């Protein structure tokens, strides 16, 4: 089901990353967001993701004021998780999350 936000939102969005139905342990892992506009352009999200529940799979995306624009909606979102050995996984691994952006 699509997530919905209002254009210009800077309040954090929390996401639960699951593997096989259970929260992913994120201890010693690097998590980044792969946020794309409807046209497929990547939105710069460096330093916008924090792990807030390492053993519980909880991450926080803190968007900048220009990250979500209604005219670029809908957005897709996946989280890229890399372990200390350089192995990479994406969450979700199926269809990406869809974010609909509405005007204020």
- Cα 71 to Cα 40, 68, 102: the distances in Å are 13, 9, 9
What residue segments make up the domains of the chain, in order of their start?
3-102
Fold observed for domain 3-102: Immunoglobulin-like (2.60.40)
* First-last CA distance in the chain: 21
pTM assigned to the model: 0.93
pLDDT, tens digit (0-9, with 9 covering 90-100), for 31-82: 999 999 999 999 999 899 999 989 999 999 999 999 999 999 999 999 999 9
Please state, in angstroms and rounded to a whole number, the distance separating the CA atoms of residues 62 and 47.
Answer: 9
């Amino acid at each position: 089901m699509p997530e919905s936000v209002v254009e210009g939102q800077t309040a954090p969005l929390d996401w639960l990353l699951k593997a096989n139905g259970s929260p992913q342990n994120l201890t010693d892992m690097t998590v980044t967001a792969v946020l794309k506009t409807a046209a497929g352009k990547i939105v710069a999200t460096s330093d916008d993701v924090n792990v807030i529940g390492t053993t519980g799979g909880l991450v926080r995306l803190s968007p900048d004021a220009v990250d979500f624009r209604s005219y670029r909606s809908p957005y897709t979102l996946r989280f890229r998780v890399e372990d200390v050995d350089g192995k990479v996984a994406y969450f979700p691994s199926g269809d990406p999350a869809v974010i609909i952006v509405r005007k204020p």
